[in-house]
Structure 1
Amino acid sequence: METVKFKTNIKCGGCIATVTPFLNEAVGEGHWQVDVQNPSKVLTAETTTATAAQVKQAIEKAGFKAEPLN
């Protein structure tokens, strides 16, 4: 299992609700979370099949920005 992290502009519960179907499809329900308390709004995803690029694409498809964190 690989853990990937992204700095995002997902900032509230409404934003999380918008991105949920896209991320559930990409990495699976319960395999991702967004820390909206963190100033960088860090999204952490644990993937077994999706690549970091696919997670980023899912976030962007939902209308949000994502920059990889190392």
Structure 2
Amino acid sequence: MKTLKFKTNINCGGCVSKVTPLLNKQDGVESWEVDTVNPDKILTIKSDGATEEDVKATLQKLGFKAEAVD
């Protein structure tokens, strides 16, 4: 299992509820969470096959940005 981290603009509970259905259904995503307290709004994904590009594309469909971080 691989951990992917992204700096995002998912900054509130409403935003989290908007992305929840798509991230929960995304192939290769085991689990995920967003740290909305962190200034960079870090999205952490436990990936079982999902790539950075998959996650970025999913978030972009909803109007959110994601930038991979180490």
How does the TM-score come out when normalised to structure 2? 0.90
The equivalent of 1:11 in structure 2 is: 11
Count of equivalent residues: 68
**Aligned partners of 1:10, 1:33: CA distance in 2, in Å?**
11
Q: Deviations over 1:7-38 (max 9, x none)?
A: 0000000000001111112224xx00000000
Helix, strand or coil for the counterpart of 2:53? helix
1:16-55 residue pairs with structure 2 within 5 A? 16-26=16-26, 27-28=29-30, 31-55=31-55
Gaps of 5+ in 1: none
Gaps of 5+ in 2: none
Aligned Cα RMSD in Å?
A: 1.0
How does the TM-score come out when normalised to structure 1? 0.90
- Quote the sequence identity (%): 53
Q: Which runs of 4+ in 1 moved over 6 A?
A: none
